[in-house]
Each structure stands twice: as structure tokens, then as C-alpha cells.
Amino acid sequence: MVNQKKNFYVSLLITHAALAASLETPPCAPARHITNCSTLTLEKVDNLATMKNAIKNYRASGAWRKSNECLVKKAKKVLSTYIPVGDKKLAVIFDIDDTLLSTWDINIINDFGYIRDVNHAWEMEGKAPAIEPMLDLFNFLKTGGFTLFAITGREEYQRAATIKNLYKVGFRGWKELFFKPAEYVGLPACVYKSKFRGQIAAQGYTIIASFGDQFSDASGTNQAIHNFKLSNPMYLVP
């Protein structure tokens, strides 16, 4: 039985490695980021229970929102220099979860753990609220003439529910939304995000800016000129 389990996991690792090779996985080259205000970020603590309470306090105090407001202010200052866009093909790319839509409620339900089926079921309900400073930024960029895209780690079968959720809370006016293909599940985010950024660039767009709550949202190839990282102390996506 032990050998059977060992052989199964070895086989699984070989299969996953072969898939990664077949997809010509690009190196996850880090991107240079404009981040939230350092004076407003959460201090690091070591104890898990203490960390969870610190995250809750960080949000309850309003510091998390202020951090995002600070980043939006920086982004408007940088990107306003490209306005009026006119007939130039300037793209801005957004991540979705904890960039545009807040997953705070499900993270509290899961005690900051990730339970895939539970999270996906919650996402399919379309109850995620907008991150309000980002909704303000989204409308600012739309009015300014930028072309808006989203690249999300949500899977293709979640497309309709996600778009409905986005529209319900005010995110309207997209050029295109890209969802993670099934064959990329389990691979680093930079693999499929790099691929989709390449597709956007191939349409003749200059990717002016990227917004995400993870450094992996902007890493890899076909990077944006300006990469903006929102605060998210809840989890890390490689």
C-alpha cells in the first residue's frame, strides 16, 4: 500500500511537470510595483491567532481602506498623464478577487483558510461587494478612455456568475475578461496571466497598468508599464 501511494504521487508529479513543460511555462520574472503607503501596512507578527486578530483589526480600524485609497490616489496621478487617451490603444488590466471584489466574508467564514469547493460555491452566489476605492478608479479610467481588461484566477465555468457580480456592484464597460483555463489549474498565476497579457498586446494594445492584490498578478512576461499592488494580508498566491 505504501509503495502504491508513493508510485501514485511520483506519477502525479511527473504528469504535472510534463504539463508545465508542454505549456512552455515562462519564468515568473518579478515586476516592479507601486505599492500601498508603507505607513499604513499591517505589521508582521509571528503567532497565527495573533495574526488573524491583527488582520481583523487592520480592517476594522479603516487602515486597510486608507491603504487602498492611498494607492488609488497614486494611480490616478500616474495614469492621468496619459489622458486624453484619444485613439491610442492603452490597456489597463485588473485582477478580480480582492482587487475589485472583496472576499472578506468568505475568508472570515473559513477562518482565513482556503477550502476550494466552499470558496467556489460562495463566488458562484455573486455576493462579493465592490472594493469601493477601486470602483472609483475603474470609473475614472473608463471615463479617461482607457481600454479595460480583467485576468482572474477564477475558472471558466464561473464566468457568468462573476460577470453578473461585477455588473451588479458597478464594474461595467469591459473590453474582455480572461478566466483561468482548466489546464492551468495548479500552475503559478504568472503562467496564464502572462499568456493573456500577450494576447492583449497582440491586439495592438500597450499595457499601461496592472492592478492586483498579489505580486504574482503582474510577474512573468508581457508586463505592464506601471504595476500597482493593493494590500492583502489574508493569503498569498504564488
| E strand map for the chain | 33-35, 90-94, 147-155, 176-180, 206-212, 226-229
Coil/strand/helix, residue 190: helix
CB 99 within 8 A of CB 132: no
Q: What is the pLDDT of residues 161-214, one digit of tens each?
A: 999 999 999 999 999 999 999 999 989 999 999 999 999 999 999 999 999 999
Flag whether pLDDT at 5 surpasses 90: no
Domain annotation covers residue 116: yes
User: Which helix (H) or strand (E) is 164 found in, with range?
Assistant: helix 159-169
Exposed, middle or buried by CB within 10 Å (0-12, 13-18, 19+), for 33?
A: middle
Rounded to an integer, the average pLDDT of 57-79 is 97
What CATH number corresponds to the domain at position 46? 3.40.50.1000
Q: SS3 breakdown of the chain: % helix, strand, coil, rounded to 5?
A: 50, 15, 35
Q: What angle do CA 204, 209, 211 make, to 5 degrees?
A: 130
Tell me whether residue 76 is in a domain: yes
Residue 13 pLDDT greater than 90, yes or no: no
Positive or negative torsion for Cα 227, 159, 128, 48: negative
Q: 478580480: which residue's cell?
A: 96
Domain contains 102: yes
Mean pLDDT to the nearest integer, 214-231: 97
Please give the share of the chain, as a percent, with pLDDT higher than 90: 79
164 within a domain of the structure (yes/no): yes
Q: How many domains does the chain have?
A: 1
* Residue 236 maps to a domain: no
What is the structure's pLDDT at 82? Answer: 98
Confidence category of residue 29, pLDDT binned at 50, 70, 90: confident
**Mean pLDDT of all residues in the chain?**
88
Domain range holding 224?
A: 26-229
Domain for residue 15, yes or no?
Answer: no
Residue 12 lies in a domain: no
Give me the percent of the chain exceeding a pLDDT of 70: 84
Classify residue 178: in a domain, yes or no.
yes
> What is the per-residue pLDDT across 89-137, written as a single tens digit (0 to 9) for each?
999 999 999 999 999 999 999 999 999 999 999 999 999 999 999 999 9
Task: Specify the pTM.
Answer: 0.84
